[in-house]
Structure 1
Amino acid sequence: MLRWLGAYTASMVGDSVYFLALSWAAVRSGTPAQAGFVLAVGAVPRAVLMLGGGVVADRFGPRRVVIGGDAVRCAVILGVALALALTTPTLWLLLPLALVFGAVDALFLPAVGALPPRITGPGQLARVQGMRGFAQRLAGVAGAPLGGFAVAVGGPGAAFAVAGALFAVSLPLLLAVRIGPGPAPGADHADQGAEERSRGDAGAWGELRAGLRYLRGHRVLAPLMVTVAVGELGFAGPLNIGLTLLVQERGWGADGMGAIVAAFGAGAGLSALLLTVRGRIPRAGLVMSLVLCAAAGCVAAIGYLPTVPYAMAAGALIGLLAGLSGALCWAVLQTACDPVYLGRVTSVSTLISVGLTPLCYPVVGAAVGLWGAGPVFLGCSVVCLAGGVIGLWSTPLRTAELPGAGSAP
């Protein structure tokens, strides 16, 4: 498990350095509008191909896809670093890079989400999600300064080289990870395959339809996806564009913004550490939904708090509660899902959080401009609360449990 954690951490730090290098190179290569276009263009293949990435992960195995994804990212980014050593960055170089990186991410992200059940037993899934969250926080803290130092020393090309080297570090670690067997070809899975073929679900498109049909009919996963979607819609706007506009409205400045974001990161890191140490949380479905409801209250509060210290406290609570709820969500998903469909189900959850929730940013921004930050944060908290209520309303999800630590893989 430590090899997987090292590989995942190196890959996440590489991601952070890559995005900083891409942003810097794009700003230096064109107008602000063109730079924004370069940064946005990678999101298109990521969103369009994400569900197909789940099919690929289920068909070829998540470990193979993750290794291939890191290998491709390493080769492409090192190639760009070499090109920048010979010439200056141009939009015609950065645009294909962003497109390729987004397309690889569409395959990589579902496979990363589907990998934990193959490297550990069911009773350790919450602990693995805690480790994963801690690695993400570490990447956020370490990646930006590392990328900034590389840019200062050698320009964007040096930063791309650092990102490529980090992806290269992850490869031998991933190759050394011990992985459990894939889904056994038993009677249940044979029956599933026969049923899918009888419905004409052959080929990639048919496999995707079969996965969506499985998700829609699952007693735990279907309400879980609705809970995730509604909860993310309530969180994403306020904690991204909304927080920036709130700080501007209150006149708290960049220092205030940084302090609140740091408090949020500290809370999220604490939740990851708690899960890493604790491992299993009893009554996971109930705790996940209750914690989401509590986090919704903190979202409402931060829109009306008068000073930065109070907002920092609310931000830390949001990070703690949202981190705990999100990790439990992933653990429940990986426990409840049939391994045959895990990549496809993971791709739906990832698409919700990565591909769809950013669509609410313009709406939140326009609403803050019309009514101010307080009412918008309150409205978003109601949306978030609705996600928690959906989780509590669903008896199968509310009563979902994680296996004990002694459960076999």
Structure 2
Amino acid sequence: MGLNRNTWRWLAAYAASLVGDGIYFLALGWAAAQTAGPAQAGLVMAAGAVPRALLMLGGGVVADRFGPRPVVIASDAVRCAVVLALAAGVALTTPGPVVLIAVALVFGAVDALFMPAVGALPPRIAGPGRLVRVQGLRSLAERIGHTAGPPAAGLAMGLGGPAAAFAVAGALFGLSLALLLAVRIAPLAASAGAAPAETPGQQLRRGVGYIRRHGLIGPLILSGALSQLGTSAPLTLGLILLSEERGWGPGGVGWIVGGFGAGAASSALVLTLVPRFPRAGAVQNLTLIVGSAGIGALALAPTLAGAVVLALLTGLVCGICGGLAVALIQSATDPAYLGRVSSVMAFTAVGLAPLAYPVAGAAAGLWGTTPVFLAGAALSMTGAAIGTAAPAVRRAELSFA
């Protein structure tokens, strides 16, 4: 089943935006390191995460209130303008940490609008039967963006410093904006998603209540949140500590992360080429259980080669799990709630999951790395148990009409 040009334009815009994100973030850190010490550089790079986490749920309300397309276009336009202005500022002057922090805060706030809105677009530009394929391609675009961004930033900075990198990032945001302007979406179906007189706060509460009461969406989002909490720290901080403990060094971390990324990219191709998954809800639960076990088993791998192979297989399984979960959630969501549902899913990744880092670090200092991996895997499997216990999830199917 093919995808129309409209969907391909959205995917290309999303990929361009992701590459621009990677270039911007690395160039921001480099510019901060040149004008301030390591502590201030870290503060600059972390500044954008605060408004992104605090405003993410509100971004979902805005997307549902005004429609995802105008919100995506407006936020992409602001990002383009801010980064191009920063490129000019860096080329002409040497901005201090205060200016860089201000830019990071603005960028993070705009990201809190962009992410829920762009996540709410797929059901509006592709039919239910194409959602699995679109999510697979979206995952592939994310892998390409995350992989291509840092090298592109390094090349641009090698040729013209941070100013050149910011200019390239701004140009990519401009390309993303041009493509998004050409994307057309289906009109919003009539629903009870929001009453005209509702305030944003009431819309947010209504959206949270909708998720909590829904027999499929609620358990899947809770399951995903527990999985994110359980696996994010082992797959980041945990891998660093494990490589130090085993003597694999920084190269070991790179190989394991690369293996996981290759597996996840392969899963995107699987979802794209083989979009039919009978008993999709049951398959999603099963892959979450297997993926959780694989992440826990990384700490038990006796050799670096074994850990890389295990990471490759785990990335493949986890990618299928995530793609099916998003497709199931979006296909079941009332169109009037898509922005709020997307914002809650994004919040668990960018706002909730990082809370596990300090806990994992403290636990590793007390008991070692292996218990951190095993505890994270157990928490992720708890999420799978919640999905398995929900009849609507067990019976969930995806339409391929």
* TM-score, normalized by the shorter chain, greater than 0.5: yes
| Paired letter, 1:378 | L
| Paired letter, 2:391 | T
| Paired letter, 2:13 | A
Deviations 1:374-406 (A, max 9, x none): 1211111111111111111111111111111x2
RMSD of aligned alpha carbons: 1.2
Matched, 1:352 2:352: no
Matched, 1:94 2:100: yes
Deviations 1:279-306 (A, max 9, x none): 2322111111110100111111100112
- Of residues 27, 45, 59, the one that matches 1:39 is 45
Cα distance in 2 for partners of 1:234, 1:132 equals 24
TM-score (normalised: structure 1):
0.94
Matched, 1:131 2:127: no
| Cα displacement (A) at 1:329 | 1.1
Structure 1 stretches of 5 or more lacking a match? Answer: none
- Of residues 313, 317, 324, the one that matches 1:321 is 317
| Cα displacement (A) at 1:183 | 2.2
- Of residues 365, 372, 391, the one that matches 1:369 is 365
Q: Which residue of 2 aligns with 1:118?
A: 124
Q: Which moved more, 1:206-215 or 1:77-86?
A: 206-215
Structure 2 stretches of 5 or more lacking a match? Answer: 1-6
Matched, 1:330 2:336: no
Cα distance in 1 for partners of 2:393, 2:27 equals 42
What pairs with 1:37-116 in structure 2 (closer than 5 Å)?
37-116=43-122
| Cα displacement (A) at 1:50 | 0.7
Cα distance in 2 for partners of 1:348, 1:272 equals 23
Cα distance in 2 for partners of 1:248, 1:6 equals 39
Matched, 1:30 2:36: yes
Tell me, yes or no, if the aligned pair for 1:127 and 1:280 is still in contact at 8 Å: no
Q: Which residue of 2 aligns with 1:312?
A: 308
| Paired letter, 2:156 | A
Deviations 1:137-183 (A, max 9, x none): 10122111000111111111111111000001111211112311112
| Paired letter, 1:227 | S
Q: Which moved more, 1:86-95 or 1:49-58?
A: 86-95
| Cα displacement (A) at 1:76 | 0.2
Q: Which residue of 2 aligns with 1:378?
A: 374
Matched, 1:202 2:204: no
Cα distance in 2 for partners of 1:257, 1:209 equals 42
Cα distance in 1 for partners of 2:375, 2:291 equals 14
Matched, 1:180 2:176: no
| Paired letter, 2:250 | A
| Paired letter, 1:97 | V
Cα distance in 1 for partners of 2:364, 2:95 equals 37
What pairs with 1:239-318 in structure 2 (closer than 5 Å)?
239-318=235-314
Tell me, yes or no, if the aligned pair for 1:263 and 1:312 is still in contact at 8 Å: yes
Tell me, yes or no, if the aligned pair for 1:123 and 1:280 is still in contact at 8 Å: no
| Paired letter, 1:107 | L
Matched, 1:145 2:151: yes
Tell me, yes or no, if the aligned pair for 2:240 and 2:250 is still in contact at 8 Å: no
- Of residues 215, 229, 236, the one that matches 1:233 is 229
- Of residues 211, 215, 231, the one that matches 1:215 is 211
| Cα displacement (A) at 1:26 | 1.6
Cα distance in 1 for partners of 2:284, 2:36 equals 45
Matched, 1:157 2:168: no
What SS does the aligned partner of 2:170 have? helix
Cα distance in 2 for partners of 1:64, 1:287 equals 35
TM-score (normalised: structure 2):
0.96
What SS does the aligned partner of 1:280 have? coil
| Cα displacement (A) at 1:40 | 1.3
Percent of pairs with identical residues: 55
Cα distance in 2 for partners of 1:347, 1:277 equals 28
Cα distance in 2 for partners of 1:87, 1:384 equals 48
Cα distance in 1 for partners of 2:269, 2:332 equals 24
What SS does the aligned partner of 2:300 have? coil
